[in-house]
Structure 1
Amino acid sequence: MSAPTNPNPPASPGNLIKMVAKREITTKLHDKTYLISIGVFIAIILVVVGFNVLANSGNDEYKVGVVGSQSKEFTAQVAEGAKQLGAKVTLSTVKDEDAAKPKLENGDLDAIVSGDTLITKDSLNATLGAVLKGAYAAEQQQKQIADSGIDQQKLAEAMKVVPMHEKTIDPNAKTNMERGIVAIVAVGIVYGMLMMIGQFVAQGVVEEKSSRVIELLMVVVKPWQLLTGKIIGLGILGLMQLVIVVGLGLGGAIAADLITVPGSAISTILQVLAWFVLGYTFFASMFALAASLVSRQEDLGSAMIPGTFIPMLSFFAAFKVLDDPSGTFATIVSMIPGVSPTTMPVRAAMSDVPVYQYAIAVVLQVIAIVLLVRLAGRVYAGAMLKTSGKLKIKDALAQSKETLAATNAR
């Protein structure tokens, strides 16, 4: 007689991890705090993008009233100066200052030129000031030359010089700098996301311990499966949010002509996203480890302080790499686990990173992730049923042997 089959065979580890990840995603999508954070991120990006689109939508246009008649020399110099600065200045004749000031007050005029005086409503726009002051200076020079009796034609020929030409030994310097700026902005967003999602991971761990939900979950799921599912679930949400935010920012930058080589910027963004996955897994495990050692939300802040130093230092290191992407400092920090997720994308965007160095950075980061996840899993297993007070790592590791033995016996 054959043994009866189990109608409900135990789920595989993969399915259990998937179940936990799905639970984390569903819970967060119904969490007002998380939804508000998404809204805030998107709102900030939209405001920044909208401002830049408006600021770069066409040339700057200015209207200037000139008291009395306009000399041909002044008009010509204004037109030339405006062209060089990418602006448009329209001159109109006004009777006197008193007649023109109301137009200045209501915005019909941006400035009034009255003899040697330049009048504005408040502060003078830098571009407009450069055009008008340059035109006035050129006009006065021409008058003084004419009054002195100097042959203007000979003087003009003598002052003709061949302009200095710009040349760079690196033809890709401008593109690399643009990519570097894209990378550092994206890394800044990644840093914010790492801290926010990492905080969610830590809060979730403490919440499960304090509410004793962990005891119910332990009946079905092993500690490492629970931690892995939590990290994966929140990581998927974080990556989705990051793609939305960065996508909006990149699209707005392209629309505002802030980026001259969109393809290069997109490849940089994709690289940053890939490093986000490696960085998130590392820091989420670190935050989960720290959160496992406490049982109250009130103690979470102090427990996470040491863990926040590494992402903070890595973020500031990225700015140093931006200054000298080919230097010794950039080379070293871009291969250090925990720091490479923010520094390597910036370095790779601005310089040619040897393939072996890039490979070393990835391999070391993956090794660090594996070791940290194993450590966090053991600490998590040993501390998860400790629902009061604080716990030391060594005590949690000692307790983990009993917890793992009990769960493996199921």
Structure 2
Amino acid sequence: MSIPTAPARPRALSTSRGAWLVAEREIGARVRSKAFLISTVILVLAVFGGILWMGIASSSSGTTSIAAVGGAADGLAASDAYEVTEVTGRADAEELVRSGDVEAAVIEDSASPTGVIIIADESAPEGLVAALSVAPTVELLTPDAPDFGARYVLGLLFGLVFMMAAISFGTPITTSVVEEKQTRIIEILLSAIPARVLLAGKVIGNTVLALGQILLLIGVAMVGLIVTGQDDLLRGFGAPVLWFAVFFLFGFILLAAMFAAAGSLVSRQEDAGATLTPVMYLTMIPYFLVIFFGGNSTVMTVLSYVPFSAPVAMPIRLFFSEAQWWEPLAALALLLASCVAMILLGAKIYENSLLRMGARVSLKDALRG
């Protein structure tokens, strides 16, 4: 008679395998969410629609139709901004203006300081007036200074994408952690995998989703620029966008660890706001600083080395060629060091707070364990 053997004990999960299982769970839950899919589609359509609108606006001729007598508009005929119709006399030119066939007429007049006069119906085109006016010679000490409007738009673009992505993918980490504590599922999870592995899986899963969405938007933007013939923007925009993606990756990991630690301090969803507030400030303040101080080179230089604002400030400086070749590497190294330190700190808070139910755990008690 054979003696029955005891069933083999299940092999313990490795750290990498356990982290990836948690990451798959996070990714699957978000991908199956209709809200996530709808928001992604809306973002894609908004990006492509915006670029398409830019292409249509830039490709529109915007020409000003004018009538000219003799050689009054010889200098304007060579410009693509004006469509010149030659007429034989002033009466013909005035008739075209009255009928609306042309926006204005240019006629030679020796009494005028510029040698020509402009005839219009109700108001003369400002561009035509400026083109035919006598202007003083202007010498710029800094001819390559970046346009403030372009800097503002770029800061708004990078800052808004980073802030919205960080909030959209970071807040669910906090919600998931609080939900697991509130339903006591965390006790079952911790019996199977260590807290640090659980934290790593949550951070990895949401980072993959966030970076994937960012890369999708970048790809849509590039396709839109190519389709609309805005290749010049693509050539100047390519390197800063790639740096933005790299900085975003590590910047989001930094924030994700903070979001997870914030969730572990409370046991109810209604208490999460108090612990989330500092993290939300660290996510939003850099965005507003870049917007308000984008024209200040000193402030932008400092912000490009601060871990929470570097993902936005450094690509802007690179776009306007204000940073040396080594500066993004130095800022990235500082961001990596901050990322490692925050992950270790967040893991300690997370590990010490997960099984504490009831009242909110203070940061001091979480660190002390």
SS in 2 for 1:114: helix
Contact 1:182/1:269 (CA < 8 Å) preserved in 2? no
SS in 1 for 2:253: helix
Question: Which aligned pairs between 1:121-136 and structure 2 lie closer than 5 A?
Answer: 132=103, 135-136=104-105
Match of 1:336 among 287, 293, 306: 306
Q: Does residue 1:114 correspond to 2:106, yes or no?
A: no
Q: Does residue 1:223 correspond to 2:195, yes or no?
A: yes
Counterpart of 1:114, as a letter, is R
SS in 2 for 1:56: helix
Counterpart of 1:13, as a letter, is T
Q: Which segment is superposed worse, 297-306 or 269-278?
A: 297-306
Contact 1:21/1:229 (CA < 8 Å) preserved in 2? yes
- Cα distance, 1:301–1:216 mapped onto 2, change above 3 Å: same
- Unaligned segments of structure 2, at least 5 residues: 1-5, 87-95, 117-131
Counterpart of 1:374, as a letter, is L
Counterpart of 1:204, as a letter, is S
**Corresponding residue of 2:170:** 198
Q: CA deviation at 1:175?
A: 11
How many residue pairs get aligned? The number is 341
Alpha-carbon distance in structure 1 between the residues aligned to 2:205 and 2:163? 19
Question: Which aligned pairs between 1:14-53 and structure 2 lie closer than 5 A?
Answer: 14-53=16-55
Q: Cα deviations across residues 229-267 of structure 1 (Å, max 9, x unaligned)?
A: 101111101111111112222332344455625233111
Contact 1:176/1:351 (CA < 8 Å) preserved in 2? no
Q: Cα deviations across residues 360-391 of structure 1 (Å, max 9, x unaligned)?
A: 32222222212211121121112212343322
Contact 2:243/2:315 (CA < 8 Å) preserved in 1? yes
Shift >4 Å, 4+ stretches: 4-7, 61-64, 74-77, 79-85, 87-91, 160-184
Alpha-carbon distance in structure 2 between the residues aligned to 1:32 and 1:173? 46
**TM, length-normalised to structure 2:** 0.77
Alpha-carbon distance in structure 2 between the residues aligned to 1:220 and 1:207? 18
- Greater gyration radius: 1
The two structures, once aligned, show a CA RMSD in angstroms of: 4.1
Contact 1:194/1:280 (CA < 8 Å) preserved in 2? yes
Alpha-carbon distance in structure 2 between the residues aligned to 1:50 and 1:11? 49
Match of 2:277 among 305, 308, 311: 305
Match of 1:73 among 69, 74, 86: 69
Q: CA deviation at 1:321?
A: 5.8
Contact 1:180/1:350 (CA < 8 Å) preserved in 2? no
Alpha-carbon distance in structure 1 between the residues aligned to 2:98 and 2:227? 40
Match of 2:358 among 368, 372, 388: 388
**TM, length-normalised to structure 1:** 0.70
Q: CA deviation at 1:339?
A: 2.1
**Corresponding residue of 2:59:** 57
Match of 2:157 among 185, 205, 223: 185
Q: CA deviation at 1:224?
A: 0.8
Q: Does residue 1:364 correspond to 2:366, yes or no?
A: no
- Cα distance, 1:195–1:396 mapped onto 2, change above 3 Å: same
- Cα distance, 1:396–1:383 mapped onto 2, change above 3 Å: same
- Unaligned segments of structure 1, at least 5 residues: 65-70, 92-111, 119-127, 400-410
- Cα distance, 1:82–1:388 mapped onto 2, change above 3 Å: farther
Of all paired residues, the percent bearing the same amino acid is 25
Question: Which aligned pairs between 1:270-349 and structure 2 lie closer than 5 A?
Answer: 270-319=242-291, 322-324=294-296, 327-349=297-319
SS in 2 for 1:191: helix
Q: CA deviation at 1:308?
A: 1.3
Q: CA deviation at 1:287?
A: 1.5
